[in-house]
């Protein structure tokens, strides 16, 4: 029996890398994304050619109506939801010193990254709780946060705060859902080569060249997708609430 995986923000970048990986493992894919499908049609045409079943809905995780209509459509189309990957997120439109951060920027970033993730997780978790256990699990949730959970970046404080909130969302839902055979995990990417990091590509390329990262290269969406694939398998069945740093070793404290 095929399983269904939701990937938010799955049209490009890390999200699309996860979509491709889970699709290759036989999952039916459901994507909620603010981007128009027409803009990324070639990505999904490739999935079709590879025999992957997929459903796409344009909408925002920050919008209650979008979340609810999407989850209802996925359940109607595919039945159970077996995996939720909370990948959708944004960076500040303008990087400002924390002393200059605006409330509008804070509300936008936290509203999408933290609030949107929180209530998408709540909605899907409620659905998962109505489902039968398949194999050894009723469902799996993976949150894509950031190395910014613990690393200070005063020019984008709202982003750091929003991702720290995602880390706590992971712990809370892991605690609440464990007894119901639903596991929750978190992945903390470092510098991943995507559209989001394009504006600071030279900055991070210079840091990589200077040795700031023990693994001296940019991360790729496929690096994140591989970890998601492992978490949703039964390889981590006796764990929940765990996170993994996928940052080229940047989290290591060095003298």
Note if 159 is an active site residue.
yes
Q: Which residues contact 135 (CB under 8 A, 6 or more apart)?
A: 234
> Which residue's entry shows tokens 């050619």?
49
- Parallel, antiparallel, or unpaired for β 83-86 and 54-58? unpaired
Exactly one of 16, 56, 78, 159 is catalytic; name it: 159
Nearest to 80 by CA among 36, 43, 115, 28: 28
**What per-residue string of b and e applies to 208-226 under the rule 16 or more CB within 10 Å gives b?**
beeeebeeeebbebebbbe
CA distance 113 to 91: 9
Whole-number Cα distances in Å, 178 to 43, 86, 127, 166: 35, 18, 15, 18
State the catalytic residues: 159
């Amino acid at each position: 029996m095929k399983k269904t995986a939701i990937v938010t923000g799955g049209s490009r970048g890390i999200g699309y890398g996860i979509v491709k990986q889970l699709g290759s493992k036989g999952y039916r894919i459901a994507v909620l994304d603010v981007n128009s499908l027409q803009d990324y049609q070639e990505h999904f045409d490739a999935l079709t050619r590879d025999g992957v079943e997929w459903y796409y809905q344009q909408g925002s995780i920050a919008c209650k109506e979008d979340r609810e209509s999407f989850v209802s459509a996925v359940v109607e189309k595919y039945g159970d939801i077996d995996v939720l990957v909370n990948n959708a997120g944004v960076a500040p439109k303008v990087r400002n010193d924390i002393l200059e951060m605006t409330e509008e920027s804070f509300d936008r970033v936290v509203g999408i990254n933290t609030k949107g993730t929180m209530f998408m997780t709540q909605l899907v978790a409620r659905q998962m709780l109505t489902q039968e256990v398949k194999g050894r699990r009723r469902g799996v949730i993976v949150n894509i946060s950031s190395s910014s959970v613990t690393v200070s970046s005063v020019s984008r404080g709202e982003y750091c705060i929003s991702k720290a909130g995602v880390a706590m969302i992971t712990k809370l839902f892991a605690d609440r859902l464990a007894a119901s055979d639903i596991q929750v995990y978190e992945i903390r990417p470092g510098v991943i080569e995507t559209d989001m990091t394009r504006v600071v590509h030279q900055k991070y390329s210079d840091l990589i060249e200077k040795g700031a990262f023990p693994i001296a290269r940019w991360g790729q969406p496929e690096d994140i997708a591989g970890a998601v694939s492992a978490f949703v398998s039964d390889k981590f069945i006796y764990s929940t609430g765990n996170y993994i740093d996928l940052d080229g070793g940047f989290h290591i404290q060095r003298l």
